[in-house]
Amino acid sequence: MENYLEEELIIRGIEINYLYVCKTKLWYFVRGITMEQESDFVDLGKFLHEKSYFGEEKEVQIGSIKIDFIKKRDIIEIHEIKKGKVMEKAHIMQALYYIYYLNKLGMKAKAILHYPKLKEIKEIELKENDKEEIKRAIKEIEHIKSLKEPPEPVYQKICKNCAYYELCFI
């Protein structure tokens, strides 16, 4: 087993997610500027998380990652509950990072994304090319963390519902 204190295992799953959603949001977040406690969309996500999948131990913390819930089978199943698919690439990358992280700790894992409002699930397995993308993402996150000012925001449709909207565009 490789040293689990490697720099790449210090990255949180939410940082991977934010990298694929918005680099500006990521920069604010890693500096402790969190606006989401005021967001109705975040509240809806928390409600879905709390009311879905009764009987499961929620929010399992392993090192720097926090997984919605896990099931131990022949391999560890990582389960993430998501509100919708608008940011599916970010969801997939976060799940892949969780698998990558557990693999680094010597555990075999796969992930399952749950979309309760859509009544859909998506199984995720880490492939060799995914590992390279995760490594690139980690390097990009470290770069963004090192910036003295936030990256210039790029307007997307999702911005109008973002808790950070005012920081970026007003």
pLDDT above 60 for 22: yes
Confidence grade of residue 85 (pLDDT, cut at 50, 70, 90): very high
Give the pLDDT confidence score for residue 53 in this predicted structure: 53
Q: Are 168 and 24 in contact (CB under 8 A)?
A: yes
Alpha carbon 57 to its chain centroid, in Å, reads 19
State yes or no: pLDDT of 57 exceeds 70. no
Is residue 71 helix, strand or coil?
strand
Average pLDDT over residues 94-117: 95
Nearest alpha-carbon partner for 19 in 133, 148, 168: 133
Question: Per the structure block, which two tokens stand in for 111?
Answer: 């992930």
Residue 44's pLDDT band (cuts 50, 70, 90): very low
**Domains of the chain as residue ranges with CATH:** 1-32+55-169 (3.90.320.10)
- What residue type is assigned to position 41 of the chain? F
Strand, helix or coil at 59? coil
Predicted confidence (pLDDT) at residue 50 exceeds the cutoff of 70: no
Q: Burial letters for 144-168: b for 16+ Cβ neighbours within 10 Å, e otherwise?
A: beeeeebeebeeeeebeebbbbeeb
Question: The tokens 């500027």 sit on which residue?
Answer: 33
Residue 73, pLDDT score? 86
CA distances from 166 to 49, 52, 71, 95, 98 (A): 27, 31, 39, 29, 31
116: its two tokens: 């309760």
